[in-house]
Homo-oligomer: A and B are copies of this chain.
């Protein structure tokens, strides 16, 4: 047995703090593998055996880190939401115009739905989370939604955004960006930043072409939908 500095026999066990860190890293690996499988196959089609197999461990080993598949899902979705909340908070804390903050939040949101936990949040419906946790998740989701609405409203107030219903506009933004989590493949041709930018641009600029001679707003009024407004 090697001698520790000072001459005492070194323990073959790592110090407690290291072990706790390792345990947390392993717990995180369980959640990550689970999120990937949920995203690939769906929550109900994924078993604890599948998760264990992907990590090259036995199912009993998993139980050292998590209680159940339901708990895993909850933790995955909670982490996705937590990442979004922190990202949005940081974007807002960075200050600047409401428009700058909104742009930063849009990028954060888009990038997170391309990652395992964020994708899980988008792909797994609320109703798959255990009922007792649904309320907490809805509250967290609602906070994110409210943050977007406030930024849109502030953008309208500062004159950088079109006058609009902030609730609807926030839904349009969240919908277009959330959808990335449904279609995005990490092996696709674009980097996550490129995907984010290519989805954010049409939201900012609109899909209609505008020219000085033919402003877009007039063009729509001439469209088939004019009578509905």
Residues of A within 8 A of B (CB): 41-42, 44-45, 96, 99-100, 103-104, 107, 123-128, 152, 155, 159-165, 168-169, 171-180, 182-183, 193, 195, 197-210, 212, 216-217, 219-220, 223-225, 228-229
Contacts and interface: CB of A to CB of B under 8 A. Distances in A.
A119 B197 CA distance: 28
A209 B162 contact: yes
A123 B219 CA distance: 34
Given A42-B127, A172-B203, A225-B107, A160 B99 contact: no
A103 B207 CA distance: 11
B42 A125 contact: yes
B224 A204 contact: no
Contacts of A163: 209
A44 B204 contact: no
Contacts of A159: 209
A163 B174 CA distance: 23
B202 A164 contact: yes
B171 A199 contact: yes
A132 to B, nearest CB: 14
Closest 10 CB pairs of A and B: A175-B179, A206-B206, A42-B127, A175-B176, A168-B198, A176-B176, A205-B206, A172-B176, A172-B202, A162-B209
A103 B199 contact: no
Contacts of A180: 171, 175
B175 A103 contact: no
Nearest to A223: B103
